[in-house]
C-alpha cells in the first residue's frame, strides 16, 4: 500500500464508504507482509516516497519472483538491482511486466512513464566503469530525475572532461564514477559548485585492490563538496543524487 492508497483508504473511512473492520483488515498488511523468506516493507513508500528495492544477488529466482509478484500488486516502477538476464527471463515467463537494463543489471517491474525533473550529471572515467555508472543513471531516472551521461571522460585524457564543462556546471549534483586511482571525483569536485558523489569501482590492476585504492583516494579528496559511496555502489549514488536534485528543484 503506497501513500496515495493509504490516503484513499482513510478518506473512504471518513466518508463512510468503507467500514472500520474492512479498513482494519487492509491495514493489517502494514507495515510489512511476511513471506517466510522476506518481510516486504510496504510502509517504506509512505515513509520515504520510494518503494522497497529488490536486491537480487544472493536470492533464488523463486524468491525474487515471489517478492516481485507481491510488490507488483501495489507499485509501479519497482527497482530490482544486481539482476542477471536469467532473472529477467524467469519473470517474463511468469507474465510479470518488466524491462531489463543489461549494462546496469536492473529490472524495472511494472514499468510506467516517469516525469523527470532537475539535472543530474553522471560521469564515468572509462568505458569499463559504465556498468556502475548506468546503475546510478537508471536508478536516478526511475526515481524521477533527468540524467545527463558523460562517459569515458577520465583524467588520463582530461580534455574529454573539460569539453563537457558546461554540462557539468548545469547539473544540480554530479556522480563521478571511476576505478584505478579514482582521481576523477577530485577533478570534478574542483570544477563545479554542486555536490559531487564519488563512486569508486573495482576496475583496475592488482594494486587497485578491487576498488580499495579508488575508495581511499576519493575519501581523501582535497576538493571540497565530495562525498563517497561504497565500491561499485551505483544504486546508492543514484538514490542519494535523486534526494539532492529534488531538494534543489524545490
**Confidence bin at 45 (pLDDT 50/70/90):** confident
In this predicted model, what pLDDT tens digit does every residue of 134-166 receive, in sequence order?
999 999 999 999 999 999 988 888 998 888 889
95 and 156 share one domain: no
Residues in the chain: 250
Please, how many CA atoms are within 13 Å of residue 136, restricted to the half-sphere of its CB?
37
- Mean per-residue pLDDT, 222-246: 95
Q: At residue 106, does pLDDT exceed 80? A: yes
Q: Comparing 102 with 29, which gets the higher pLDDT?
A: 102
Higher-pLDDT residue of 4 and 192 is: 192
Check whether residue 129 and residue 243 sit in a common domain: yes
Asked whether residue 208 is assigned to any structural domain, the reply reads yes
The reply to whether 104 and 126 lie within a common domain is no
Kindly state the average pLDDT of the residues 107-134. Answer: 94
Q: How many domains does the chain have?
A: 2
Mean per-residue pLDDT of the chain: 89
2 has pLDDT over 60: no
Note the pLDDT of residue 107: 95
DSSP 58: T
pLDDT band at 237 (very low <50, low <70, confident <90, very high): very high
Give per-residue pLDDT as tens, 190-228.
999 999 999 999 999 999 999 999 999 999 998 988 999
Distance from C-alpha of 232 to C-alpha of 136, rounded to nearest angstrom = 10
Q: Which residues, including other chains, have CB under 8 Å from residue 225's CB and lie 6 or more apart?
A: 189, 192, 193, 194, 195, 196
Which of the two residues, 208 and 40, has the higher pLDDT score? Answer: 208
CA-based end-to-end distance of the chain: 26
In a domain, 245, yes or no: yes
Q: What is the CA radius of gyration of the chain?
A: 20
H-type helices in the chain, by residue range?
3-14, 20-27, 44-48, 61-71, 85-93, 130-142, 158-162, 165-170, 184-189, 212-219, 234-249
Please report which confidence band the pLDDT of residue 12 belongs to, taking 50, 70 and 90 as the band edges: confident
Does 27 score more than 80 pLDDT? no
Give, in degrees to the nearest 5, the angle at Cα 101 between 150 and 88.
165
Cα-Cα-Cα-Cα torsion 136, 138, 143, 149, nearest 10 degrees, comes to 70
Is 186 domain-assigned?
Answer: yes
Region 225-246: mean pLDDT is 96
CA-CA-CA-CA torsion for 67, 116, 237, 199, nearest 10 degrees?
Answer: 130
Question: Ramachandran region of residue 236, left (φ > 0), alpha (ψ -120 to 50) or beta?
Answer: alpha
User: Where in the sequence is the domain holding 220, given as residue range(s)?
Assistant: 117-249
> Where a domain ends, among 109, 132, 149?
109
Cβ neighbors of 192 (< 8 A, separation 6 or more) are 168, 169, 171, 174, 225
Q: Among 109, 134, 167, where does a domain finish?
A: 109
* Mean pLDDT to the nearest integer, 110-130: 94
- pLDDT for res 173: 97
Say if residue 131 is in the same domain as residue 56: no
Q: Are residues 226 and 189 in the same domain?
A: yes
- 180 plus 90 within the same structural domain: no
Are residues 57 and 122 both part of a single domain? no
Which DSSP state fits 146? E
Check whether 29 has a pLDDT greater than 70. no
**Per-residue pLDDT at 42:** 79
Q: Hey, how many other C-beta atoms are within 10 angstroms of the C-beta on 144?
A: 18
What is the pLDDT at residue 194?
94
CA distance 181 to 199: 12
CB contact at 8 A, 87 and 107: yes
Mark 118-129 as b/e (b = at least 16 C-beta within 10 Å): bbbbbbbbbeeb
Q: Average of pLDDT values for 14-36?
A: 71
Does residue 155 share a domain with residue 105? no
Same domain as 75, residue 126:
no
Average confidence (pLDDT) over 59-75? 90
**126 and 229 share a domain?**
yes
Please list the helix, strand and coil fractions of the chain in percent, rounded to the nearest 5, in that order.
Answer: 45, 20, 35
What's the CA gap between 113 and 132, in Å, rounded? 23
Amino acid at each position: 500500500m503506497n501513500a496515495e492508497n493509504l490516503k484513499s483508504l482513510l478518506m473512504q473511512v471518513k466518508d463512510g464508504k468503507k467500514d472500520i473492520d474492512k479498513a482494519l483488515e487492509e491495514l493489517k498488511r502494514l507495515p510489512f507482509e511476511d513471506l517466510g523468506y522476506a518481510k516486504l516493507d510496504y510502509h517504506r513508500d509512505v515513509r520515504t516516497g520510494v518503494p522497497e528495492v529488490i536486491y537480487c544477488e544472493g536470492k533464488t529466482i523463486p524468491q525474487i519472483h515471489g517478492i516481485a509478484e507481491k510488490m507488483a500488486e501495489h507499485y509501479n516502477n519497482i527497482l530490482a538491482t544486481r539482476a542477471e538476464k536469467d532473472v529477467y527471463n524467469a519473470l517474463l515467463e511468469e507474465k510479470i511486466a518488466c524491462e531489463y537494463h543489461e549494462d546496469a543489471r536492473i529490472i524495472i517491474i511494472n514499468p510506467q512513464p516517469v516525469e523527470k525533473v532537475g539535472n543530474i550529471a553522471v560521469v564515468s572515467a572509462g568505458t569499463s566503469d559504465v556498468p556502475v555508472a548506468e546503475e546510478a543513471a537508471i536508478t536516478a531516472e526511475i526515481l524521477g530525475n533527468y540524467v545527463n551521461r558523460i562517459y569515458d571522460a577520465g583524467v588520463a585524457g582530461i580534455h574529454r572532461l573539460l569539453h563537457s564543462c558546461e554540462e557539468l556546471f548545469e547539473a544540480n549534483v554530479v556522480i563521478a564514477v571511476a576505478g584505478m586511482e579514482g582521481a576523477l571525483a577530485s577533478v570534478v569536485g574542483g570544477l563545479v559548485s554542486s555536490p559531487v558523489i564519488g563512486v569508486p569501482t573495482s576496475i583496475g590492476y592488482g594494486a587497485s585492490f578491487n576498488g580499495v585504492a579508488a575508495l581511499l583516494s576519493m575519501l581523501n579528496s582535497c576538493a571540497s563538496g565530495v562525498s563517497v559511496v561504497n565500491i561499485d555502489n551505483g544504486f546508492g549514488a543514484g538514490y542519494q543524487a535523486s534526494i539532492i536534485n529534488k531538494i534543489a528543484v524545490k
